[in-house]
Structure 1
Amino acid sequence: MIRRFLALVFVVTMSHTAWASSVEANLSSQVLLLARLSGSKVVPAVQTQAEGLVAVLLNFQKDSAFITGTVTGMTSAITGIHLHRGRAGENGDVVLDLSSSLQGDVVAAATKLSSIPPAVIAAALKGELYVAVHTMLNPGGELRGQLEAETDVQLSAMLSGEAQVPPVTTDATGMVVATLRQDGKKLRIWAVFSGTAQVTAAHLHRGASGTNGDVVADLSGMIRGNTIVGELDASSFVEALLRGEVYMNIHTSAYPNGELRGQLSATARTQLAFEVWLDGAQQVPPISTMARGVGKFWLSASVDTLWWDIYADGLSSTITGVHLHRGAVGASGDVLLDLSASVQQNGWIRGSSTSVSSALIAALLSGQVYVNIHTANNPNGEIRGQVWRLLREGFVASFDGQQQVPPVTTLARGTGIVSIDRTGSSLHYEFVLNGVVPQAVHFHKGKRGENGDVLFDLSSSFSAVAMAGATASGYWTAEDMPAFDAVTAELFFRDSVYVNVHSALYPNGECRGQVTRQYAPMGISTADNGSQQPVQLSPNPVETTMWIRAESAEGSLLAWRVFTLRGETVLEGTAEYSAGGYMVDVSSLPSGVYLLQMTFSSSNRRALPFVKQ
């Protein structure tokens, strides 16, 4: 037990102070949905090295919807890209055709959120929309990915003696609300209980409902009176937690094996989850009271029904009213929704409402709503709590060479997302790049048009795709070195972070993407838009001799160089233009994938991938 306790990493965070973190103070009413595309998700699955990413930003306050994405490594020309309705593993009808917004391997589109049928928005929020990319060789779909909201996971339980195994007779009751960070490593716990004998210990146990199991986390150090508040490392039992096989047990002097127990279960991903902690310190002005409360809200995917479960204990007198008010942390505001009719006995406030206005939705998503519990002794409110969403704050990045400082000429493109949890302890990133083989990738500090210092090295998370593409997926957390913290999070909210992709051809950066919430589709250039000279390699794959097909003056010279995907020069030379192209002998190269750099002039350098057989 001592070893387990010492190995347990937790930080007691009494998160009921009247201030907001840098993330909480900057929350928007925006929802980020992400689809990671692969051939294995197509129904039936297809064999392909291709991968892709599509992000959707829904902004309920600004009535906007933005779609951006990139694919790489496709087997053949893209014939269509659509949003389909259907769960994972099912095929469904097209609900939105994005093909007209496709330029090369990049899609970018914008529309009013109000122009999208509510049923389609609901399907997206429930995870029942998927992206399909169709090609000539795979007309039924070469890539597919389910759109899912970027969110942390909410778990909760009602605590009772009846849930004990065997049941115990007690008037004690309580509630626990927990948040599992998206990476599955940290679990934050809020619990309030009442009516127990002297509490001697509290634990999380592994075990399904109706069974007893071993302790997986000791919560005893988090007990403060009738509350349990803290954060712990959940990585050793996260799978059991998500399966609903972890329970909280509160032991007392009267019931040493446990007086209160509750099975932690996750709020369905088909609903938008919110959490609240209530105390007197959050009142304006603060109230001195021993009362505490904890609760959860969840909003239907159709955003027309709101449910709530709140448990409060220690109030000085009878509850006279419970309301949702509009207001930021430290500010008071008007009532948005009256919850008073849902007050029950024994500290419970449980109910639902279909009086869900667009103003309430936008305020909930942006952290501008609080719960106020009014009592006879404190008619203006005895305890109060800010309602926080579990959805992570979303950002996107679109990559090209024109964002480099100074700009570079390249066909490299890409799309990425970043999401940050509301406490500012973790950042999730996903990127897909096309037309570039990264040698190094970093988060840098700097606004658009500026160069800045490296904040975090992303290089180890990138993997090559086919001939010239790459993907990345990972987290930057408070446990990393350097740590992700509130100061760094603030840079993202100020549009002061960019991703720089360094390559062998452009060691200072070939393509770059500003990480931003203020996304709008950017103009996307292609190889034949007149800004660059059309170039074709043939044959590709090649066995011995390859022709560089390009328009040039007869007898002009071309300097060329062949790189491995690691950036090593393995072959170089010059070629003279003749019969519509330049001839390059690559017969000495081993089989593999290479990059051919071609320098037509001091201002015209190109690079294309090829396969040596």
Structure 2
Amino acid sequence: MRKALRFVFIVAALLFIHQSAQAQIHFTAKLDGAQEVPPVTTTATGTGTFTLNSTGTELAYHITFAGLSGSLAASHFHNGPAGVAAGVVRAITFTGNTAAGVWKSTDATQPLTDALVKELLSGRLYVNLHTAANPAGEIRGQVLVDYGIGLSASLDGAQEVPPVTTTATGTGSFMLKSSSSGTVTELEYHITFAGLSGSLAASHFHNGPAGVAAGVVRAISFNGNTASGSWKSDDATQPLTPALVTELLAGRIYVNLHTAANPGGEIRGQVRVTTGIGFTAKLDGAQEVPPVTTNAAGTGAFTLNNDGTELTYDVTVGGGFSGRITNAHFHNGVPGVAGGVVRNLNFLATGATGIAANAAGVWKSGDASQPLTPTLVNELLNGNIYVNFHTSANTGGEIRGKLNINYGISFSTKLTALQEAPTPVISRATGTGTFTLADGGNELTYQVTYANLGSAFRFAHFHNAPAGTAAGVVRDISFNGNTTAGSWKSSDATQPLSSTLLIELLGGRIYVNVHSNNFGGGEIRGQVVNDVNTLPLRAPIGVSRTLVDTTFNVNLQGVTTTTDFQLSSTTGTEYYFQDPTGGLRVFIRGKIAAPPGTLIQVKNGFVYTINNRKNIEVQGNQVEILGTPGLPPPKLVTITQYKANQASIEGQYIGLSRVSIKSGSWPATGSNATIILRDASGDSLALFIDLDTDIDGSQPPTGSFDVVGVATQFNGVPQIQPSARADFRPAGTVSVAETVSGFNPETFELRQNYPNPFNPVTTIEFVLGRTQPARLSVYDVLGHEVAVLFNRQAEAGKSYRLEFDGAKFSSGLYFYRLQSGERTQIRKMLLSK
């Protein structure tokens, strides 16, 4: 239907958990005999490169050794600090001289547990290779975090041009480091090869993409089978120039090992970014051309994925613009030059002087318009891309910020009210923070901007606790207006970044909390995570219906149950969608095809009410199509039951049986209509027919019939809204998914679980005031039902105590839902392992 959509200008931010490469942490291991306990005299060496994924559930590894005193007898991960011989926690399988694999939390034997991840982050896991001559281990190496941009290379003959047939292999681990000013100064490398056809004749870094043979840019010196060294920007010959850094980050530098039999190279490996590349932008008026005097400022966090095809961004601005923000873009231009627009930012805002807002999204190489081209990726790596926010008073831009590479481990945070614990706060405030851990883990630099606090700023801190848990302050944060920029060091006289807090940071257990006068415990908070996209949890749709208006950053997932009720519009889309906890109307700014039965994920929506209907609103690129599981069966209700329980049923896919037309005219083609239905009891209900269906202009049903559609309302008047003429069916043919009993006005109590938080077992108790069927289920944050604790007749007045065992589930927030008749109650609980 072509209706005037009330698209509320919202603070937009990306809320899906996109597996960005920056969500990973890179580790290396340098293996030798000196690290064994006691030390072993051997010429054997090895190199290992490792990557821990964003959720800490998978550790990918690639290891090469050479020069052992005899055949490899066994190989393992061990759990112990340097200088201590400790027990085996995981076997490693080698093929020849190289091992490549993934250690997972779901492995049936020797899984990667949360405890072992903490040991890994603490530097207390090591790789050990055993031989007959040295059964306790001939060479070993601690698996240590690399505090810089991590890169790796896997060398073999297949990458040569033309390919070379050889059993030789190699592993290279690299770390790009910078000075305190952010200028790249050094590439550290550690490379091991094995199995060449003859002696190593030469070895180099070359400058060329995969599949192309190119010239030498740096010689590499090996000691036996291993090379350890540093390529520096101030080397007298063959220095690491800024141009070569760009080529390196773009994946166009490779390592090549030459032999007499293969003078062009026997094995080669492209040096590729392992952990993605993080960028930061600090926005202000001073960077504009010409400079602008303004109180506005902003912070942007960005991640370029491994292959340079996606740039994820999240930017918050505030502090006092001269007026309403009119546009926001990525521009291509060097500092000091006003460059052209290359990409629009997904940004919406409204208001007067002092507006603050947020922009977020993913810029992809496959976008139909304004794609992220290889040329623009090069410009990005060269520091020639900036973000720009425009106002009417400053049409060329009021604040701008250049995207700068973070030469360290990058973290970010998205601050929202829904992350506050133990009770989420209702507020439209948001914030963005970007962080870089450098100097060997001794310094965390940060910049944070918040926007739209509901009351005056009071104070802000770093706290130490996982998501969903509140804990004490570990570091004060001072703001200047809406933005702070600072450094947290291990050498600080007070509240230093201790080694313990460093491990907590790497484990995602440090959060930023911004307190206001109205919310002394915190109005917005965000975990500091190694992933620009790890943002607030998804909520069940039923929970979202209880949120007050102007609640931002709501993330939902469900199946569409209607056609597009804005089909004739060229700018908007309207669906209803639902999960097991409820249904909701979604307005989408843009056209998205998600016919009934499509599983969609709505990212960072804005919840509001219009005409007494609860809605969530997003932009088109904040909706992801996840699959097509098909329509759920309709919930069969009577008209009386629907009207008596309108609040709980609204938004869901329902069915009415044996109804007939009481009054109203069937719509002609291109017209809407409201028809009044009645059932055998004589009760009546409105039927709304939308012109964006195939119902208008069709033949009306006659006599008694069944109808399915979504339960909607207009200004408090309940109605059913079908999507197609096929939704009118012969009487008695609507299938029943759940027969809803009458409303129970007596006791209906679902009590808070105890203990909470829990690990791994907690008790849930409920009591009903009337004997009737009841169902108690547990849902994860995606709205998926993960357990059914009770599903049978419940006796009146009897207290039921059920245990939920979370042993096989991941730590995090869960919801439990009691449904009996038309009554539903939902509570939340936290599994903390």
Larger Rg: 2
TM-score under structure 2 length normalisation: 0.34
Q: Tell me the TM-score normalised to structure 1 length.
A: 0.45
RCO (CA 8 Å, sep 6+): is it higher in 1 or 2?
Answer: 1
